[in-house]
Structures are given as C-alpha cells and as structure tokens.
Amino acid sequence: MRTLIANGTVVTADGSWPADVLVDGETIAQLGADLAANGVTADQTIDASGKYVIPGAIDVHTHMELPFGGTFAKDTFETGTRAAAFGGTTTIVDFAVQSKGHSLREGLDAWNAKAEGNACVDYGFHMIMSDVTDESLAEMDQLVAEGIPDFKLFTAYPGVFYSDDAAIFRAMRRTRDNGGLIMMHAENGPAIDIVAADLVAQGKTDPYYHGVARYPVFEGEATNRVIRLAEAADVPVYIVHLSVIDALEAIREARDRGAMAYAETCPQYLFLSLDDLGNGFDGSKFVCSPPLREKNPNWEELWSGLKKNDLQVVSTDHCPFDFHGQKELGRGDFRKIPNGLPGVEDRVDLLHHGGVVGGKISKERWVEIIATEPAKLFGMYPRKGAIAVGADADLVVYDPNRKRTISAGSHHMDVDYSCYEGWEVQGGSDVVLSRGAVVVQDGEFRGRKGHGRFLKRGPAEYARMG
C-alpha cells in the first residue's frame, strides 16, 4: 500500500518546508516537491494543502490500568491508545510496575498481558522499581537487552513505590553499567506524609490540601538530591513531571554543571493551577502528584525552561480516574483520592494552542518536545520522531487553524470528566497514520485494536552524550 501525502508543509524539529511524503508499506519512502508531477504513483493520496505534516507524537509517560489507591487507572491499552491516536500521538511508553516482593519479570509479564493484542498504536515500557534487591538489580541488565532500558524510582509514596537513597543509588550504579536510564519521581514523600497527617488532624481534608501538603521545596529538595546521586553514580537521570520552579532551578543548575540531567513537564503544570484544586470536592478531579502549583511564577518559568532546553519533553502522566466512584474514594480525606489526571488525547493540541499559537515556542520546538526529543532520549530515534526516508510512517496531517472545544462529552479517553472542559483550542489532527496505516481520519477511528506493537528500544546513548 502506497500513500502520498501531498501539498503539505513538513514540520520537523530542524525546520519546515513544503514537501510531499510518500509512504510505502510501513515506512517513509520518499520526500520531495511535487512527487506526483514527477511520476510518483500511489494507491491513495491525502491532500494536506494548508496543513502541517508532522511526525506522530510520542508520549513517554502514561499509566494504563495502573493500580493506585485501591482502584485502577481507567483507560486500558485499547481505549488509551485509541484516544492517543485521536490526539495525534502514535507511540506511548507506559510504566510496567514491579510490586514489592515480586520480580521485575512478573511486573513486565503483567504489562505485556495488558498491552499485547490490545494497543491501537505502538507502545514501549519503562520499568517501575519498587524493590531494589540483588535479584532485581541483576534483572535490570536483561531488561535493557530486551528493549526496556529505563527504570523509574520514587522518592515519594512511602510504603508503596518509595525507595530510600541507598536503593536509588544501587539502581543508579547498576544502570551506569548496563547502559540504561534512571527516571525519578522526585518529591520528598516522608516529609509530605507528615504535613498531610497534620492537615487531616486539623480537619483540612478537602482536595485543596493535597496541593498544600506537597510543598514546592519538597520537590526541589528531592530533585536536587537525586540529580546529585546520579552524578555520583555517573548515570543519566530524567526527572518526570517536573512541576515547579524549585525543581526547575535544580535541573538548570545541574545542566549548567554539565550533568547528564534531563526533565519533562506536563500540560497540567503549564495550564492548570492550585486554584483548580480549590472548588470543594470537585477539586479531586485535579489531584495528581506532584500537585498543581501556583500559577505565578511557575507557568512562565516552565515555558521559559522549555524554550531554553532546561526541559526537553512534555509528556502527560496520563492516569485517569473517574470522578464518580474513583476520585470519590477520597471524600473526607484527600490522602485517599487516587492520584492522576487524564491527558493523553489533549497534549498535542494544548501545546499547539498555548505554545505555538500563544507565541511561546516555535512550531519546530513544538514538534521537538512532543516527538523528537522523546524519541532521542528514549532510544527510538530516527525510527520514531522523525520524517525521514526509512523511518516508520507515523505521521500526522495537522490543521493549525482548526478549532475545537475540549469536553468529556466528545473525548475518547474512558473517563467521565475533562480537566479542560469547555476550553477552545486551536489546532487538531486531521489524519493520523501509524506505520503507514490510517488510524484516524476526519474524526473517525479507522485503526484496530492489536495494530500497535511492542517497541524494542535502544539503550540511553543519546542521554549519555548530553
């Protein structure tokens, strides 16, 4: 099957130019001006006049069916990756979970079972380590060889995902030797738990106090600490869901020192604030960790971080729980609200609207932070994240002028609310291709469950080069 995407403007991290793109089978076969006029034939032609042609976006931080707080994140690999496709995202990297007392392999097997035959777009896995032992350290090397080269550890959630400094440092040293990458959820969990218990004892149980308990300095301190540990271990470290200036300063300083330190932020930290947590129990819809922060100065600082490459990636931390029946588990005690927000479908458009249309980043930087840098840092480039001959034909025909209103009534994520309900955004994915197959066109899903394949990723060579 040959598909010609004609008359569009190709937008990549390196630049933009008018070009046609020929897809042959699953990969990009040719790029150039006026391909049809020059004798190139195809089975179907997609007219991209007035549109951008961008690499399929990559979301390196999702939690499909994550067990959390006595329930499970609602999207399955089927519903979550279908929603991703509607939003122009053609690759996700989800977090497989090692539970305490179990092996990495058991966690990985469980995630394979969730994803295999169900995903609508390609997927990879990172591995959450909750139990650092001699056995799990040895397993890490095997996972790198199998294309799962990243290990996420937490300084938050004591008793669940939490690792102490010794465990983190051991995992870091192992990763230095096996070529992988360490990802860190950096908040000081033990300190947060003390403040949270005090607040509850004072009767401050509303969702708003979830945000109050998790001081910015707890994120700043933990971010600095884990970066320092990674420097001592001589391993690259990637800070997930960085939310606040205290942590941004830690990453800036580390990068200025020449550390192999990287970070992502998420749309919720660029567009939502502590105020959203403050509307009685409705605020539970906005409970995630790290929490939403004060708008000033954090939003501007994070945008500036994205512009200056202190932050390299925007991912979603997609982890949806219904308001009814799931978020409601925390009525009367914010500590029992499952943490997480839906977002996999909206990231590309929110960043186009707020970033490109809003004049904060160029359209090339937009592509870079949603597709190209994630591909490079996570061992997928140039197969993913690029428009180049031989790359996977994961492509989006993107209309920069289309307007749509975000709503739970029309989104495709399996969750009963939207954090952006009623927001009008400019920009939308018209046609989405995953390895050459049209999966979304004009608002219709044309893909299939099971089309998405496991993506074996390479080691963290790019992250080691700085």
- Please choose which of Zn ion, ligand DUC, none residue 233 contacts, taking the beta carbon within 5 to 8 angstroms, the exact cut-off set by kind: none
- Please choose which of Zn ion, ligand DUC, none residue 288 contacts, taking the beta carbon within 5 to 8 angstroms, the exact cut-off set by kind: ligand DUC
Report in angstroms how near the CB of residue 74 gets to ligand DUC at its nearest.
Answer: 12
318 counts as binding Zn ion under rule CB under 5 A? no
For residue 424, count other CB atoms closer than 10 A to its CB.
10
Q: Scanning residues 298 to 317, which ones bind ligand DUC (CB under 6 A)?
A: 317
Report in angstroms how near the CB of residue 154 gets to ligand DUC at its nearest.
Answer: 7
Q: How many helices (H) and strands (E) does the chain have?
A: 14, 19
Task: Give the C-alpha separation, 377 to 11, whole Å.
Answer: 20
Beta bridge partners of 404: 425
What string marks each residue from 332 to 371 as x (binds ligand DUC by CB under 6 A) or -? Answer: -------xx-------------------------------
- Choice between 63 and 383, CB closer to ligand DUC: 63
* Residue, CB closest to Zn ion: 185
Contact 430, 399 (CB under 8 A): yes
ω into 382 cis (within 30 of 0):
yes
What does 182-236 look like in DSSP terms, one character per residue?
EEEE---HHHHHHHHHHHHHTT--STHHHHHHS-HHHHHHHHHHHHHHHHHHT--
Which runs of consecutive H residues, i.e. helices, occur in 371-413?
373-377
Kindly tell me which residue out of 289, 315, 326, 418 binds ligand DUC, with binding defined by CB under 6 A. 289
Work out whether strand 237-239 and strand 181-185 pair parallel, antiparallel, or are unpaired: parallel
Kindly tell me which residue out of 22, 254, 311, 319 binds ligand DUC, with binding defined by CB under 6 A. 319
Beta bridge partners of 21: 5, 31
185 counts as binding Zn ion under rule CB under 5 A? yes
- Please choose which of ligand DUC, Zn ion, none residue 120 contacts, taking the beta carbon within 5 to 8 angstroms, the exact cut-off set by kind: none
188 counts as binding ligand DUC under rule CB under 6 A? no
317 counts as binding Zn ion under rule CB under 5 A? yes
Report in angstroms how near the CB of residue 326 gets to ligand DUC at its nearest.
Answer: 12
* Residue, CB closest to ligand DUC: 288
- Choice between 128 and 432, CB closer to ligand DUC: 128
- Choice between 317 and 368, CB closer to ligand DUC: 317
Reported residue count of the chain is 466
Q: Of 354, 365, 208, 367, nearest to 271 (Cα)? A: 354
Q: Of 318, 309, 257, nearest to 94 (Cα)? A: 318
Which residues in this chain contact ligand DUC in the complex, by CB under 6 A? Answer: 63, 68, 185, 288-289, 317, 319, 339-340
Which residues in this chain contact Zn ion in the complex, by CB under 5 A? Answer: 185, 317
